[in-house]
Amino acid sequence: MQNIESICVVGAGNMGHQISLCAAIAGFKVKCCDINEEILHRAGDFAENYLSERVAKGKLSEEAAQRTRANLSFTLSLEEAARNADLVIEAVLENLAIKREVFARLEKICPAHTIFATNSSYIVSSRLADATKRPGQVCNMHFFNPVLVMKLVEVVKGPHTTEETATAVMEVAKKMGKIPVLLQKEIYGFLVNRILTAIRSEALYLYDLGVASFEDIDRAVVHGLGHPMGPFQLLDLTGIDLSYHVHMERYRESGDPSHKPSPVIVEKYVKGEWGRKTGKGFYDYSANG
Ligand code: 3HC
């Protein structure tokens, strides 16, 4: 089986920065790139604060923190990040055209053995594999937010994905301390997001109908179902912008109006109230909030 030592993470946003850090802690050499310098700086600051806090909490040794720092670097250049990678994990915006462009660029940059995995929340890798000349080495590797905490990784085999690729990616996930599950068939949204979407759609429907406040719907799910967070708290964590893009992408493809984002998601997206990342979503995360 292919020995994976170096990983390139494309995108340092909500998911990419924690995927990079998690892989670096696990001992992989990680280069994380983004086209946005500010996002890269934020990812670097997060990693530094996180490692110092883990050491202070006694959850990581100073040596392990130093090793992680040495394993992790950030760059604006995709060429620099990807040219020696054994595995690329793409974590860019949830937009098919952008992802295809990234995969086509990676095809030109990476060595022949490199595996390309997408962290897409919904898009199956067969929509991306033909942007490369190595479809056998393309699959989904889907992490959950916050990546440093959530154990699950969904590895999805497309009809094009070889057994070796799926096995190698499962092994990387295990080495990262994750619990991977293997989907033998592609399906939009995989396992978890299909279940989550059903809960979320119902919560948004109840809210849009005025049946209860979002706070009470969250309380109902936390205290009635035992979930760690309610659907609106979770939307703020994963990003209202992500939810907007996922629904718009689906609507653009299907033309089915039922796939459009709910009115409150559109309103919050337009206002720039995208959740924790902007300081306000359904809840207020400012100092006074
Ligand atoms: N980043 C990194 N670590 C975090 C974190 C974050 N954003 N938030 C919390 N943590 C860590 C803390 O450091 C702490 O670590 P420690 O116990 O080792 O010291 C631990 O998590 C617990 O933190 P807290 O006590 O502050 O908070 P909670 O116990 O309330 O846990 C939570 C926070 C882990 C976010 C929990 O509320 C939870 O599990 N929520 C549900 C998350 C979820 O459902 N995620 C899946 C979303 S769907 C998805 O990602 C799909 C994608 O496609 C969009």
User: Of residues 90, 94, 154, 249, which has the active-site annotation?
Assistant: 154
What is the Cα–Cα distance from 159 to 135, expressed in whole angstroms? 9
Q: Which CATH number fits domain 192-278: 3.40.50.2300, 2.40.30.170, 1.10.1040.10, 3.40.50.720?
A: 1.10.1040.10
Instruction: Give span(s): CATH 1.10.1040.10, the chain.
Output: 192-278
One-letter amino acid of 192? V
One-letter amino acid of 24? A
Q: Which CATH architecture has domain 6-183?
A: 3-Layer(aba) Sandwich (3.40)
Active site residue 73: no
Please work out whether the CB of residue 148 comes within 6 Å of at least one atom of ligand 1: yes
Q: In what order do the strands lie in the sheet with 138-142?
A: 72-75, 29-33, 6-10, 87-90, 115-118, 138-142, 152-156, 179-183
What is the Cα–Cα distance from 94 to 71, expressed in whole angstroms? 27
* pLDDT digits 0-9 by tens, 151-176: 999 999 999 999 999 999 999 999 99
The first and second tokens of residue 19, run together, are 């995927």
DSSP H or E run through 117: strand 115-118
- What's the CA-to-centroid distance between 231 and ligand 1, angstroms? 14
Instruction: Give span(s): CATH 3.40.50.720, the chain.
Output: 6-183
Angle 133-138-141 (CA atoms, 0-180°, nearest 5)?
Answer: 160
The first and second tokens of residue 105, run together, are 């660029």
One-letter amino acid of 95? N
DSSP string, 75-98: ES-HHHHHTT-SEEEE---S-HHH
The first and second tokens of residue 147, run together, are 């990546």
pLDDT band, very low/low/confident/very high, at 287 (cuts 50, 70, 90) = confident
Q: Where are the alpha helices (DSSP H) in the chain?
A: 16-25, 37-56, 62-71, 78-82, 96-109, 126-129, 163-175, 192-209, 214-225, 231-238, 240-254, 263-271
The first and second tokens of residue 162, run together, are 């070889």
The whole model's pTM is what?
Answer: 0.94
* pLDDT digits 0-9 by tens, 28-75: 999 999 999 999 999 999 999 999 999 999 999 999 999 999 999 999
What is the Cα–Cα distance from 19 to 12, expressed in whole angstroms? 9
Please work out whether the CB of residue 193 comes within 6 Å of at least one atom of ligand 1: yes
* pLDDT digits 0-9 by tens, 95-125: 999 999 999 999 999 999 999 999 999 999 9
Please work out whether the CB of residue 59 comes within 6 Å of at least one atom of ligand 1: yes
User: What would the mean pLDDT of 4-29 be, rounded to a whole number?
Assistant: 98
